């Protein structure tokens, strides 16, 4: 239909009759669902991107979407805006279901005003967030926006602030997930930063406070969009994002799977697919008996342990590209979702550094907020040494992980597979921080430090005297190391003191965890009353 014909049809609707009113509603709905111009939609598709409504349709169960504020329009008259007042104002909001479970959603529409956020646009997002909080369902924000709507001035900034406040109030009450599928710049980045999980798409998602042009003007640095704030940067370098998807479909599938591990809110339990485990050790379980190498310096993949423990070997990893020296993610044990934190000997020997500490702390707190037990697998030689780490605040930032474990009231089960040295032993879900069940393999080495370093300190004089008298210093050192290992470098000293509840065969790990989680399902623990703690941020 040509534009003149369409205008002619609109003119012929008699809104004074019932039929006319119904026809007028249909016209308005059509206008609202096609708010972006055909040219803008074509440009969106040419970039390999979906439209706001296509994303919502892909995310939600078919036919479940209920739109809110479909006919909302901005009220601004600045710079000729009154001449262009599309329905919806550039954002699609509403609710529906994902795998039959209620969720709320907002999806920014880049085909209308470039997705720029204004007052009414912000009010729509705030309303759907308030709705999610009242009904206790997750909220998923799909971000594709050029930033604040400049023509609306401070009203757009106020709208951002209202959104940030809702993000904060909803934190730990309902799961909040951000999907960034285009630009997300300036103040807009802080909403995804506050949410529980952020998913980005490779080559099409960008997040930054100030863009390349501003940086070039102010600092003289030349940087491109991808290097500055692309999906790979925020997944591997900054840690802002939790998953880098290959395309939008992959991103949405990741979110659907993520939701399957999370409860709808902090007062409900996560989805359960009951299945009673066979507690007898299998040949597959016995593979763990030979996993840890004889040499303490030889690495192995901790994911192998995790996959032997969780149901069907299915481990859903988060932040896989960031701080790879620690592994975080979700799995199920007897159909019940659990969170997993594990040192990774394949990266930096499993050392804790600033990034690993913050990654794990954030994850533990997320699990605690949403009633998910935490399984911790420990193989850690200590904190990563270095001037850079010290100057960048490893003390303060490493303390976040202590805080996260110590404040957690969900079931906590820790398995020490090999090294647990120094302060890192305490930090990684130890009995001293409140873990409920602490297990160790016979290969566990729980001590203040490794044998080499300990001997160099404890027997400095002995080694010096050996050198002075012409003895074979290395032979003396080897004897002293063996003595130290036999005396202290084992799980039994800790077991004698009750710091480890049991020393187990590696092949029995899943069996012990299953039994432990069964017992801990009725765990009740509360912290001292307070307004809130003061985590070392």
Which residue numbers are catalytic? Answer: 186-187, 423-424
Alpha helices in 136-211 (DSSP H): 154-170, 190-194
Of 355, 481, 506, 326, the residue nearest 416 (C-alpha): 506
Coil, strand, or helix at residue 36? coil
Contact 155, 183 (CB under 8 A): no
Coil, strand, or helix at residue 40? helix
Residues sharing a CB contact under 8 Å with residue 465, sequence separation 6 or more, in sequence order? none
CA dist 399 and 392 (Å) reads 13
Of 79, 161, 60, 80, the residue nearest 117 (C-alpha): 161
Alpha helices in 60-181 (DSSP H): 119-135, 154-170
Q: What is the CA 125 to chain-centroid distance, rounded? A: 22
β-strand 412-421 against 326-333: which pairing, if any? unpaired
Q: Using alpha carbons only, what angle is made at residue 87 by residues 83 and 88, rounded to the nearest 5 degrees?
A: 125
Q: What distance separates the 2 farthest-apart alpha carbons in the chain?
A: 112
Contact 116, 103 (CB under 8 A): no
Residues in the chain: 537
CA dist 112 and 185 (Å) reads 17
Residues sharing a CB contact under 8 Å with residue 398, sequence separation 6 or more, in sequence order? 352, 354, 357, 383, 423, 427
Contact 105, 56 (CB under 8 A): yes
Q: What is the CA 431 to chain-centroid distance, rounded? A: 26
């Amino acid at each position: 239909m040509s534009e003149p014909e369409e205008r002619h049809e609109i003119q012929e609707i008699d809104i004074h009759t019932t039929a006319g009113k119904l026809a007028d509603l249909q016209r308005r709905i059509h206008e609202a669902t096609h708010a972006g111009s055909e040219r803008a939609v074509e440009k969106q598709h040419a970039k390999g991107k979906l439209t706001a409504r296509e994303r919502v349709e892909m995310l939600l169960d078919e036919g479940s979407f209920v739109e809110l504020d479909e006919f909302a329009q901005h009220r601004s008259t600045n710079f000729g805006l009154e001449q262009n007042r599309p329905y919806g104002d550039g954002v699609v909001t509403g609710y529906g279901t994902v795998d039959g479970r209620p969720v709320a959603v907002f999806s920014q529409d880049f085909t209308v005003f470039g997705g720029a956020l204004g007052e009414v646009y912000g009010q729509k997002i705030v309303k759907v967030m308030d709705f999610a909080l009242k009904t206790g369902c997750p909220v998923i924000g799909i971000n594709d926006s050029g930033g604040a709507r400049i023509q609306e001035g401070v009203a757009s900034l106020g709208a951002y602030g209202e959104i940030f406040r809702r993000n904060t109030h909803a934190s730990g009450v309902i799961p909040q997930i951000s999907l960034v599928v285009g630009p997300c710049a300036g103040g807009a980045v802080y909403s995804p930063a506050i949410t529980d999980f952020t998913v980005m798409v490779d080559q099409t998602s960008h997040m930054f406070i100030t863009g390349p042009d501003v940086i070039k003007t102010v600092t003289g640095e030349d940087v491109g969009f991808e290097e500055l704030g692309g999906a790979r940067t925020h997944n591997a370098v900054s840690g802002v994002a939790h998953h880098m998807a290959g395309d939008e479909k992959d991103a949405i599938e990741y979110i659907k799977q993520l939701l399957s591990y999370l409860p709808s809110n902090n007062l409900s339990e996560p989805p359960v697919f009951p299945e009673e485990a066979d507690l007898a050790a299998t040949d597959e379980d016995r593979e763990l008996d030979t996993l840890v190498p004889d040499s303490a310096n030889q690495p192995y993949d901790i994911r192998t342990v995790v996959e032997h423990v969780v149901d069907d070997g299915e481990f859903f990893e988060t932040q896989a590209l960031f701080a790879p020296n620690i592994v975080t993610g979700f799995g199920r044990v007897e159909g019940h979702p659990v969170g997993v934190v594990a040192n990774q000997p394949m990266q930096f020997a499993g050392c804790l550094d600033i990034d690993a500490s913050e990654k794990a702390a954030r994850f533990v707190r997320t699990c605690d907020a949403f009633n998910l037990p935490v399984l911790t697998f420990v193989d850690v030689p200590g904190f990563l040494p270095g001037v850079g780490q010290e100057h960048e605040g490893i003390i303060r930032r490493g303390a976040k992980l202590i805080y996260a474990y110590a404040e957690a009231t969900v079931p906590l089960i820790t398995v020490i597979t090999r090294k647990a040295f120094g302060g890192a032993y305490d930090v990684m879900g130890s009995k001293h921080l409140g873990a409920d069940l602490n297990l160790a393999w016979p290969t566990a080495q729980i001590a203040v430090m490794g044998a080499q370093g300990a001997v160099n300190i404890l027997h400095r004089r002995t080694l010096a005297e050996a050198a002075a008298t012409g003895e074979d210093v290395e032979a003396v050192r080897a004897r002293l190391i063996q003595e130290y290992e036999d005396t202290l470098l084992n799980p039994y000293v800790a077991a004698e003191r009750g710091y480890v509840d049991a020393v187990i065969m590696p092949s029995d790990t899943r069996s012990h965890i299953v039994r432990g989680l069964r017992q801990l399902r009725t765990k009740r623990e509360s912290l001292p009353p307070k307004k809130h703690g003061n985590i070392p941020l």
